[in-house]
Amino acid sequence: MDERRVVILVGPPGAGKGTQAQLLEEEYGFLHLESSKVIEEKFVSGGDDLVIERERNLWKSGKLNTPALVRQWIMERIEQIAAHDASIVFSGSPRTLFEAEGEVPLLERLYGPEHIYAFHIDVSREVSVRRNSKRRICKANRHPIPNLPEYRDLTACPHDGSELVTRVLDTPGTIAVRYDTYLRQTAPVLGFLQAKGYEPIVIDGDTSIEAVHARIAGILERGTRPASIE
């Protein structure tokens, strides 16, 4: 892929957005903008700031963080990545219509509308809770380790060798809240993208990691505008 691209992956918790973003990063050199990582970095660097503490508490409850803050943080990171002339893949952003209304025009200005692709990776509530309840990430770089049989016996990250940990927030109750929050606050972003001409390409997230990746990669390699895909 010679031209810079923007890939927006929308889907509920457990849809595999992080895994698919990682594959695009490894295979095509995309830079993965993971909204949760950006937010958690702000939590680490924010110290005892009262605003950051409030946002930490929202995060721990499974609710979305304040859209205005998240939008500001994400837009700052978008500009940094674009300045390095790199393609970008989002896993979990925009999270709200408010965020989309700020982020998408910025992406259009920096990358051009013809280079923006939207994918809707869909999974049921049951699958979301099951996958996330035992999901692990690596301690060094947050590489996602899917909750699938072939990864069950891994004790170290296959990408960097670091320790694998289960996120404290990934409990069935918190995940259920996150799924409901997704339906209420994030799913409407799909309609916004459609109205802007970026018809989200629906992918069944219950299929294999390889099948989902093949579908995404095939579309990107053809270079077909999302709105024109049948």
CA distances from 11 to 21, 57, 191 (A): 12, 23, 13
In a domain, 154, yes or no: no
Q: What is the dihedral of CA 162, 168, 171, 177, to 10 degrees?
A: -120
pLDDT score at 229: 40
**Best CA proximity match to 39, nearest among 88, 117, 91:** 91
pLDDT score at 170: 66
**Best CA proximity match to 39, nearest among 72, 73, 68:** 73
In a domain, 139, yes or no: no
In a domain, 161, yes or no: no
Q: How many domains does the chain have?
A: 1
CA 156 to chain centre: 23
In a domain, 51, yes or no: yes
Query: 228, 198 in Cβ contact below 8 A?
Result: no
**Best CA proximity match to 115, nearest among 228, 226, 229:** 226
Q: What one-letter code names the amino acid at 14?
A: G
In a domain, 186, yes or no: yes
121 phi, psi to nearest 5 deg: -95, 115
Tokens matching residue 32? 């993965």
In a domain, 148, yes or no: no
pLDDT score at 200: 94
Could you list the pLDDT tens digit for every one of the 230 residues in the chain?
678 999 999 999 889 999 999 999 999 999 999 888 888 888 877 767 888 888 888 877 777 788 888 899 899 999 999 999 999 999 988 988 999 999 999 999 999 999 999 999 999 888 887 777 666 777 777 777 776 767 777 878 888 888 887 665 667 777 888 889 899 999 999 999 999 999 999 999 989 999 999 999 999 998 765 544 43
Query: 127, 166 in Cβ contact below 8 A?
Result: no
Can you tell me the distance from the alpha carbon of 35 to that of 69, in angstroms, rounded to the nearest whole number?
Answer: 12
Can you tell me the distance from the alpha carbon of 72 to that of 77, in angstroms, rounded to the nearest whole number?
Answer: 9
In a domain, 163, yes or no: no
Range of the domain at 219: 6-134+170-228
In a domain, 221, yes or no: yes
Given the DSSP bridges, would you call strands 136-138 and 164-166 parallel, antiparallel or unpaired?
antiparallel
Can you tell me the distance from the alpha carbon of 164 to that of 137, in angstroms, rounded to the nearest whole number?
Answer: 6
CA distances from 195 to 13, 136, 200 (A): 24, 36, 10
Query: Where residue 99 sits, what CATH number does that domain have?
Result: 3.40.50.300
pLDDT score at 227: 46
pLDDT in tens, 30-60: 999 988 888 888 887 776 788 888 888 887 7
